[in-house]
Amino acid sequence: MRLILLGAPGVGKGTQATLISKALSIPHISTGDMFRYHISNNTDLGMKAKQYIEKGMLVPDEITVGMVADRLKQEDCQNGFVLDGFPRTIQQATFLDKILKDLNIQLDMVINITLDDRNIISRLSGRRICPRCNAVYHIEDKPPKNDGVCDNCNTKLIQREDDKEETIIKRLQVYHSQSEPILEYYKNKVKIVNIESHKLIEVTTKRVFDALGVDYKMLNVC
C-alpha cells in the first residue's frame, strides 16, 4: 500500500505513520526524521535545513526532493510506503507525481489528519524532550515524575525551538498557506480520507486503520 499522511504540525502524523508501517510492514518515510538525523550529525544538509526549521519555515525543495527521490527508489519501498511530511507544497506534490510515474507506482490513498489550531498549539507548546535519551513528555498530558527532569536518565528536559508557541504559530501559518492546497491538488487524483485527531492516540489509530480496512487490534500494534 502506498500512502501519504497529511496534516498540520502536531496532529500526530508521525505516530500514526509508525503504527501503519509496523502493521503493514512498509517503510515509514519521514522528512522530519531525515532532517533531524542530518542536523544531529552536523552534515551540510542538516545545517542548511536547521536554519529554516528553527524559524518554523519549510525547508526549500532543493534540499528535500532529491533525498525523497533516492529513498523511494530503495528496495524496501517496492511493496509500499507511508510518506509522512512530504509533500508539503504543490510544487513538491508535482515533483512526487513525476517520481512515482518514473517508478510506475500509483498512490492508494491520502489520509488527512485534522485538528484545530488552538489544540495544536496546546499539544506542541507543552511538549518537553530529554536531550539524552529522547524521551518525550507533556507538561499536562504526560508530565515527568519530577518536574522538568527525565524519568529515565534524570536529565533536565528541554523545549525544542520548533515547539515554542511563536514558532508553532508561524508553522501553522505556513501550513495553511502552502500545505492545505495540496488537498485540492489530490482531489481528483486519489482517494482522500479526512480523520479528526483525538486526544487519545488509540482512538485516532482506530479511525485510521478503519479507513485502511485493517483491524489494528488483530495486528497488536497498540
- Residue from 185, 198, 204 nearest 89 by CA: 185
Among residues 71, 88, 128, 207, the one annotated as catalytic is 88
Among residues 2, 71, 123, 127, the one annotated as catalytic is 127
Specify whether 171 is catalytic: yes
- What residue type is 6 in one-letter code? L
- Residue from 71, 89, 90, 2 nearest 31 by CA: 71
Among residues 2, 13, 71, 123, the one annotated as catalytic is 13
Residues 6 or more apart in contact with residue 119 via CB below 8 angstroms: none
Among residues 2, 71, 123, 171, the one annotated as catalytic is 171
Among residues 160, 164, 170, 206, the one annotated as catalytic is 160
Specify whether 22 is catalytic: no
Q: How far apart are CA 71 and CA 96, in angstroms?
A: 12
Specify whether 207 is catalytic: no
Pairing of strands 127-129, 136-138: antiparallel
A 10 A CB-CB count for 210 gives 13
Residues 6 or more apart in contact with residue 89 via CB below 8 angstroms: 58, 61, 178, 179, 182
**What positions carry a catalytic annotation?**
13, 88, 127, 160, 171
